[in-house]
Structure 1
Amino acid sequence: MTTVLIHGVPDTARVWNRLLPLLPDEHVVALDLPGFGCGWPAGFEPTKERYLAWIIDALEAIPGPLDVVAHDWGSILMLRVLTLRPDLIRSWAGGGAPFSADYAWHPTARLWQTPGAGEKAMDRLTPDIAVDMLRRAGLPETDARVTAANIDPRMKESILGLYRSGRDVFATWGPELAGLRDRVPGLVLWGETDPYAEPRFAERIGEATGARVACFEGCGHWWQVERPEETAAAIVSFRQAAGLS
């Protein structure tokens, strides 16, 4: 059994460092999305479609069965993989991002999605400003500083491309989520005080897919960093209930 970890924005695979040693898996693969702590493959464009194709290729290359844990944009992309290639994933756990057509992007996302204004915002995004933004969303200061230090020009360009291509992602991808109901065992993970999306969006994913929902009290956006022990326990309990361990 292999667990694959897929991070979101503005993270790298380092975001899993607190959770990874708590997972009872012999093999764990933490992916770095192109442009996030690494370069782009030749000819790569940072759009949701290209990231989706890249993740499918990455999962196909890893011997299964695969249990995937994903966060933020990683979770959005993972859920889309499930609607297209459910054969690639034995079980999934993810959250920190909605998948509902009526979700309105948060103000920072809307700024990034606006040509010109997004570039100016990225020019102003110094490490100190990034640390403050990340801390207010729940990331501990030590982790916020590590994350901010990795926000380089390539990552900024990747974020702008991803968010602009994903302006209507929930309206276009969201309706197909219901087709997953009870097909692949799932667990939705959420922070009760996530400033980007309320827990009701976790419940909607759970209702659409038949997945269990775990919402962590007093937790912000990064449950794998803020509540690693609780996250690991929720994943273990979910797998046991699904007969996967």
Structure 2
Amino acid sequence: SAELWSSVIKHLKDHYRCFAPDLPGFGRSTAPAAFDCSLENMARFIDELIEAAAIPTPLSLVVADFGATYGLSWAVTYPHKVQSIAIVGGSNFSSRYRWHGTARLFRTPLLGELAMAALNLASYERTMHQNAPWLSPDYVRSSYALSLAKPETRRMMLKLYRSINPKDFVGKEERLHDLTAHVLTLVLWGDKDPFITPEYAESFGAAQVEHFPQNGHWLAAEAPEIVAQRLATFFAVGSRQERSDTAK
């Protein structure tokens, strides 16, 4: 949900106009049961959201996790609307990626539903403590209340996992590399991510990649002050470059 970014935004909001939407059906947002979670439809959805919110473009896109998968799909569909890209924490936009064990379970009909039905706050807290010991207990409980505590969000999560396949990225990967060759791109990566290995940090074609050996998947929530500092520096470089290009 948008709450992943709340602490980062606190450090940036005095100098930057920040927007952090929920994915449809997550956090405080709703989505119809028939919502199409394909890369193509999510790119359209994001573009419609940008238009409806009157967000000026080209914009700086900051993404993570499923938000990166869908945000980058928007970026390669509307490259003229992108000023810069920052990928924060484990994210996938590769046809080479193979799902982690929990994802494979969620992607399996019936077994995924049974796994979701068995999930409760206590088991969620245990799993998060194992996978992300850097997150506070309050953050973990809050994230559960905003997501998996709701049956409709559980259904949407299963749908997300089942809507994305490696073949969907064929062709889009090349378009992303074309884009990142022309716009400033930053990757911040927690190397202790249990869901995707550090090598994928290099898969986006970014000129700047920074690894955080002691952090994991939810880097924006684990180290918000550091992430905000890196983003502020990155945005400042982009602003200087834009002014330089305008002056030529």
Give the TM-score category using the shorter length. Answer: 0.7 to 0.9
Q: Which residue of 1 aligns with 2:178?
A: 179
Q: From 158, 161, 165, give the equivalent of 2:159.
A: 161
Q: Which residue of 2 aligns with 1:85?
A: 78
- Structure richer in helix, relative to its length: 2
Q: Which runs of no fewer than 5 residues in structure 1 stay unpaired?
A: 1-11
* Aligned equivalents of 2:171, 2:118: Cα separation in 1: 32
Please state whether the residue corresponding to 2:62 is helix, strand or coil: strand
TM-score by length of 2: 0.84
Please state whether the residue corresponding to 1:80 is helix, strand or coil: helix
User: Does the 8 Å CA contact 2:220/2:227 hold for their aligned counterparts?
Assistant: yes
Identity across the alignment (%): 33
Please state whether the residue corresponding to 1:179 is helix, strand or coil: helix
1:59-208 correspondence to structure 2 within 5 Å: 59-61=50-52, 62-65=54-57, 66-95=59-88, 96-138=90-132, 139-150=135-146, 151=148, 152-168=150-166, 169-171=168-170, 173-205=172-204, 208=205
Change (3 A) 1:173 1:157: farther
CA RMSD of aligned residues (A): 2.1
* Aligned equivalents of 1:228, 1:194: Cα separation in 2: 16
**Range that drifts further, 170-179 or 59-68:** 170-179
TM-score by length of 1: 0.85
The number of aligned residues is: 231
In structure 2, what residue type is equivalent to 1:184?
V
* Aligned equivalents of 2:145, 2:169: Cα separation in 1: 30
**Range that drifts further, 36-45 or 91-100:** 36-45
Q: Which residue of 2 aligns with 1:34?
A: 24
- 1:183 is displaced (CA, Å) by 2.0
User: Does the 8 Å CA contact 2:43/2:77 hold for their aligned counterparts?
Assistant: no
In structure 2, what residue type is equivalent to 1:192?
D
In structure 2, what residue type is equivalent to 1:28?
C
